[in-house]
Chain A
């Protein structure tokens, strides 16, 4: 069966520090991968998605970047965190068009 791993679960980082969040999927090949952010009390904002290795689509211009160095690995990064980067970050994958998204357990990021 397919599983998705996302870590760390919680993270507290100072303003200006770098960020690296990692997500891996097991049990499937060539998944579509997604990073979402959820601000407190708000819906999910699509940040990036990827349909293949090295292929990244950015939805919102911001302080973050994403990379997909391997088929089932998706990394969210920042060189210098801002206070506004605080939030709940969710990684997800899907098999194909019309298929459901499957989510990781999320990372709670607090930038201080």
Chain B
């Protein structure tokens, strides 16, 4: 069975400092992994995806994530936080048997950026 654990429900960083949002997954098969960002009362926007290619994945807005199979982790990082990064972030794992596709979401991490 698939599952996703986002280890921090809230993270606060100062503007200009690095961001680390942690995600661990469980999957019986080779997973596809994603990070999404959600601003208040908005839909979710894809930041980046891992689908068994390069383990270091670069996304939009300067974010990147590294797939570590041995640690079953897919942590999201950014070298320097910007005020506009304040939002909720979701880690997602996907695996589907033939013809069906289920996506399992973590509970989210709310990122606060301090001026």
Q: Which A positions have Cβ atoms within 8 angstroms of B?
A: 6, 32, 34, 36, 42-44, 46, 49, 51, 57, 88, 90, 92, 94, 96-106, 108
Contacts and interface: CB of A to CB of B under 8 A. Distances in A.
Task: Tell me the interface secondary structure of chain B in the complex.
Answer: strand
Interface residues of B, number: 27
Interface of B: 32, 34, 36, 41-46, 49, 51-52, 90, 92, 94-96, 99-108
Contacts, number: 64
Given A44-B105, A103-B43, A103-B44, A98 B94 contact: yes
Given A100-B34, A100-B49, A105 B106 contact: no
A102 B105 contact: no
Contacts of B92: 101
Task: Tell me the interface secondary structure of chain A in the complex.
Answer: strand
B90 A44 contact: yes
